Amino acid sequence: MPATFRVADGKTLASDLGNCTYTSPVVQGRVVYFADTSISAVRLPEEAGDQAECKELWCEDLTGDFFASPVVRGDRIYAVDRAANYHVIDANTGKSILRKTLELAPAGRRDGPNVYPSPCLAGRHLFVGNDAGETVLLEPGDQGAAVGSGSLPGGSGATPAFSGKRMSVRGGKLLYCVGEQ
C-alpha cells in the first residue's frame, strides 16, 4: 500500500492511502489518484506535522487489469486497461463517464492488445500505445474520439517521453525520435 514520507528524515507520515499494484499514483494539486482493481482519490493535507491526516474522497470499482498509469487532466481521469478498454472517469466523483475498447492489434503472445505503456498527454492529444508498437491518438474529453494512429516496427512496451515537439520512444532494439521536420 502506498505511503507518504517526509523527505528530510524518511519518517512515514501516512500509510495505506490507496491501491496500485502495477500503476503509479497520479497527483493533481493536493489530490492523489490510485488506479488498480478500483480507483480512488485521496486529499493530502495542506501541511503535515508528525502525521499526515489524509482523507479519502471517493473509491469506485474498475474492471480489467491495469498496468498503465492513468492521466489526470482537469476534472477527468483517463485510464486504459491491458485489453485496451479506455476509461474516462470524473475526477470529482469517481463515476465512469465512458468505457470503450480501442482498436489496437494483438501484441506478443497474447490474443489481445496488451497495453503496458502508460497513456501520455502531449499537446492536444492523448497517446495510447500497446506492446505491438501501435499508438492511437485520442482527443481528451468525454467521447474519446480517435484522431490519428501510428506504429513502430519491432513493437514497444515503453511509455513515450515528450520534449518540445519531439517524442522519444523505445521500439524493439532502437530508440526512435519522432517530430516535425
Q: What distance in Å separates the CA atoms of residue 161 and residue 146, rounded to the nearest whole number? A: 20
pLDDT along the chain (181 residues), means of 10: 72 76 92 93 81 86 93 97 95 97 75 88 94 92 93 85 92 87 76
- Per-residue b/e over 147-170, b at no fewer than 16 CB within 10 Å? eeeebbeebbbbbbebeeeebebb
Q: What distance in Å separates the CA atoms of residue 69 and residue 118, rounded to the nearest whole number? A: 5
Residue 3's DSSP bridge partners are 15
Q: Which DSSP symbol is given to 119?
A: P
pTM, entire model: 0.88
In the chain, where the domains are located: 3-179
Cβ atoms 3, 46 nearer than 8 A: no
Asked: is 3-179 a CATH 2.130.10.10 domain? The reply is yes
| The pLDDT value given to residue 66 | 94
Residue written as cell 470499482?
Answer: 61
